[in-house]
Amino acid sequence: PFGCLSFIYADDHAALSFQTGLRGTLQNYNWKIQLKSSSTLPVSKTEIKSSVFTVKRLFSTSHSSVDSKEMKKFQLLAHKWWDEEGEYSALHSMNDIRVPFIRDTLLNMSSNYHLGNPLSGVKILDVGCGGGLLSEPLGRLGASVTGIDPLEDNIRTADQHKSFDPVLAKRIQYKSSSLEEIVEESMETFDVIVASEVVEHVADLEMFIKCCSRVLKPEGSLFITTINKTQLSYVLGIVVAEKIMGIVPEGTHEWEKFVPPEELERLLESNGFSVKTVNGMLYNPLSGSWSWMESTSVNYAVHAVKSGAQGQPSPTDALSELESEQPSATAGTAV
């Protein structure tokens, strides 16, 4: 029950630079529009796309930095991902329920699948992939998987482990990157995104969801597993799991950053997703196994679908949206 992706955004100086740069870009864009209008010539699509691209690039590169405290926390464990009896044992056993959940949900949504490789042709992005614990079983089901993680040591571990299997080596690629950093190159690229034990570590959850939407194809699926913010989750997830039983390394979680399912659903729905499933999950530390349950009071899994293709926004709408997002992105500095 822990993820490995954490974001922290720019300090005051960087935020001021971003605001200045964005304002200048927008002013330059507006000036071009006015100039073209006054000369009765149409604005070229190339110039519009260039302006939008410039703003997107400014936006993404200014807000891709990863919290150094979280990086150090997980770097100490980067070589232990594939120790099934070690610190990541609970994540290994979680595969027993999360992999079938992803597989069966996708198969129920499509009649086109291949025996033996049921997810063949499906492009999956595994956000916060760590050492590849979820990427590999999805690759074995036939999916084409891209795993991203901001910690290079995690990616090295993942790359080394997949190299033992020639089939996986062809189906999986790993990148040392944050989600924001790949938005530019991966707009509406993936059929599926999995973010397992990740969202409780991000600094700006809504920005994270917006980025997921941008790299996901219309009607694509988003799978999230995370921890509810309840008294019970504090007792079991932190006191028992971290401090008493040592199932999870102490300091892995901050209860304040746990996400209630109601909040996650609200953010998903307000950003163009339709929530299809919310299932409670239970970990038994004595047997080391996971099972599904009705209650979402501790761990839970969500499946949401991005809305279908709508009318493409105009360049001015796209710029307005980016400008309106900017203050919220620089506000999430607490970790």
pLDDT band for 270, please (50, 70, 90 cuts).
very high
**Residue 284: strand pairing partners:** 289
Q: What is the mean pLDDT of the chain?
A: 77
214 in a known ligand binding site: no
Helix (H, G, I), strand (E, B) or coil at 203: coil
92 labeled binding residue:
no
- pLDDT for residue 179: 94
pLDDT band at 308 (very low <50, low <70, confident <90, very high): confident
The type of residue at 283 is Y
**What is the Cα–Cα distance from 238 to 233, expressed in whole angstroms?**
7
- Helix 261-270 vs helix 205-215: crossing angle, to nearest 10: 50
| Cross-strand pairs, 127 | 148
Distant-in-sequence, close-in-space partners of 60: CB < 8 Å, separation ≥ 6: 180, 181, 183, 184
Q: What DSSP string describes 49-99?
A: HHHHHHHHHHHHHHT--B-HHHHHHHHTTGGGTT-TTSTTHHHHHHHHHHH
Cα–Cα distance measured from residue 171 to residue 156, given in angstroms and rounded to the nearest whole number: 17
- Which amino acid appears at position 182 of this protein? I
With CA atoms as reference, report the closest residue to 134 among 233, 5, 266, 254: 5
Phi, psi angles (nearest 5°) of residue 244: -100, -55
Percentage of the chain exceeding pLDDT 70 = 67
Q: With contact defined as beta carbons under 8 Å apart, do 50 and 43 qualify?
A: no
Question: What stretch of H or E contains 223?
Answer: strand 216-227
Burial (CB < 10 A; 0-12, 13-18, 19+), residue 227, is buried
The letter for the amino acid at 77 is L
Q: Return the pLDDT at 75.
A: 55
**pLDDT tens by residue, 138-185:** 999 999 999 999 999 999 999 999 999 999 999 999 999 999 999 989
Residue 237's pLDDT is what? 80
Lowest mean pLDDT among 5-14, 64-73, 99-108, 189-198: 5-14
What backbone torsions phi and psi does residue 124 show, to the nearest 5 degrees?
-115, 135
The rounded distance, in Å, linking the Cα atoms of 290 and 281 is: 7
Is residue 63 annotated as involved in ligand binding? Answer: no
Q: 186 labelled as ligand-binding?
A: no
Over residues 220-267, the pLDDT tens digits come to: 999 999 999 999 988 888 887 777 777 776 767 787 889 999 999 999
At 73 the pLDDT is 52
| pLDDT the model gives residue 309 | 65
pLDDT digits (tens, 9 = 90+) for 70-113: 545 555 566 789 999 888 899 999 999 999 999 999 999 987 77
197 in a labelled binding site:
yes
Report yes or no: 55 and 22 within 8 Å, Cβ to Cβ. yes
Whole-angstrom CA distances from 209 to 29, 106, 123, 147, 264 are 28, 20, 18, 17, 9
Pairwise CA distance, residues 263 & 258, whole Å: 10
Residue 98 counted as an annotated binding residue = yes
* Confidence (pLDDT) at 149: 95
Alpha-helical regions (H) of the chain: 12-38, 45-62, 68-75, 89-109, 135-140, 152-162, 166-171, 179-182, 205-215, 231-234, 261-270, 315-331
Whether 200 has a binding-site annotation, put simply, is yes
